[in-house]
A and B are shown apart, each in its own frame.
Chain A
């Protein structure tokens, strides 16, 4: 399995929940923080990138993610199914020529996230995704608990970069 890139949005707990899934996938875990959050230093990843995007800017976010894919060598990208995630993930997949496993609206996010996880992620990881208020071991116990680690029911979008290995 190749490297995985997790896209972190400040104050979005779903971003942190995906580190558990990223770890389960194998390979190196990298992160890209979209915003001015100072949590990059406590993220459970080998390399963290950061770009200061404060407002709704799908084009800038797409460019930043594409650059991070290039720098990290990631073959899988995990993006939370937030408004910005839903807008950016298809653009990244289109830009990089990858496949996209997507979540729908809020009502379906969690179901689809778990549906995705059931394809090849272990029961432990699935339970980790189901837990509320748990960042999946990301920064639990860290002196500075990241604002992203708040309770959530949000799911995640899996966008694949070029050369992505399919789950099935």
Chain B
């Protein structure tokens, strides 16, 4: 069994972003592995540790230098090698990324039994990449998976649906989108981080150059309005609130 973990990079959620002309300025952004992709990498490594038939765990990412950061992190967690699809535009859309990854898998000749990715890409807050890759490769997928059992040629996945959890089975090869609580990602120790730098990292060109969507307008969310605290007894607060609503807000 060969497992592919998709581990793209996203701006570090703890960092700050600077708005440019219809885009976020990439300079100064600190990058990290997409937290949901970290679950995918951890699940892949755990399957290899638990099973005797897992030949290889491969990590793949699309992007510029920031993608290498995510790939090295996945390799420090335990992935055997990485594939870097080089693309300078860091704000590409999901369909572009999905097409590049699906074409790279097809061109490599490698046959992956299980593809794991995060359920969401936090840089775009989108969940489109996984299903699109599955469609391009003609395989089934399950989204928002919180529990996974992999058998011989079959995977049983529990995933979130509206207000409840549902367990489904799919035939492999298939794609699983990992949600939080699926596994607890390990924190790679320094020796593993150093070893990851020596693991093979293949660099390839994207199969397509053009994304299917273009950002025509980009705005930060509006800032919250000011807040006035009303103090006093319940009667005083109610009286003052009525006055504010009538005279200042003019909504009554």
Asked whether A and B interact, the reply is yes
Q: Which residues of A contact B (CB under 8 A)?
A: 56, 58-59, 62, 82-83, 86-91, 93-95, 98-105, 108, 111-112, 119, 166, 168
Of the candidates A58, A90, A101, which one forms a contact with B129 in the assembled complex, judged by CB atoms under 8 Å apart? A90
Smallest CB–CB gap between A114 and chain B, Å? Answer: 12
Residues on A with beta carbons closer than 8 Å to the beta carbon of B93: 100
The reply to whether A87 and B143 form a contact with Cβ atoms under 8 Å apart is: yes
Can you name 25 A-B pairs with beta carbons within 8 Å? A58-B131, A83-B161, A86-B143, A88-B131, A90-B98, A90-B127, A90-B131, A90-B132, A91-B131, A93-B95, A93-B132, A94-B99, A95-B135, A99-B95, A99-B213, A100-B95, A100-B128, A101-B213, A102-B94, A102-B127, A104-B124, A105-B120, A105-B125, A111-B221, A112-B125
Give the CA-CA distance A62 to B120 in the complex, in Å: 20
Seed contacts A90-B95, A90-B128, A90-B130; 20 additional CB < 8 Å A-B pairs: A58-B131, A58-B140, A59-B140, A83-B143, A86-B143, A87-B143, A89-B131, A90-B135, A94-B98, A94-B131, A94-B136, A98-B212, A99-B95, A100-B132, A100-B212, A102-B126, A104-B126, A105-B125, A105-B127, A166-B214
Query: What size tier do the contact residues of chain B reach?
Result: 20 to 34
Give the CA-CA distance A91 to B120 in the complex, in Å: 16
A90-B125 contact in complex given A83-B162, A100-B213, C-beta closer than 8 Å = no
> Which of chain B's residues has its CB closest to A98's CB?
B212
Flag whether B141 is at the interface (Cβ < 8 A). Answer: yes
The reply to whether B125 and A62 form a contact with Cβ atoms under 8 Å apart is: no
A62-B135 contact in complex given A86-B127, A105-B120, C-beta closer than 8 Å = yes
Give the CA-CA distance A88 to B142 in the complex, in Å: 11
The reply to whether B216 and A119 form a contact with Cβ atoms under 8 Å apart is: yes
Interface of B, secondary structure class, is mixed
> Which of chain A's residues has its CB closest to B166's CB?
A56
Give the CA-CA distance A121 to B214 in the complex, in Å: 18
Give the CA-CA distance A66 to B171 in the complex, in Å: 23
Give the CA-CA distance A111 to B98 in the complex, in Å: 24
Flag whether B144 is at the interface (Cβ < 8 A). Answer: yes
Give the CA-CA distance A168 to B95 in the complex, in Å: 18
Flag whether B134 is at the interface (Cβ < 8 A). Answer: yes
Give the CA-CA distance A26 to B88 in the complex, in Å: 38
Smallest CB–CB gap between B244 and chain A, Å? Answer: 25
Residues on B with beta carbons closer than 8 Å to the beta carbon of A87: 131, 141, 143
The reply to whether A100 and B94 form a contact with Cβ atoms under 8 Å apart is: yes
In chain B, positions 94-114 with a C-beta closer than 8 Å to chain A are: 94-95, 98-99
Give the CA-CA distance A77 to B107 in the complex, in Å: 31
Smallest CB–CB gap between A85 and chain B, Å? Answer: 10
The reply to whether B128 and A102 form a contact with Cβ atoms under 8 Å apart is: yes
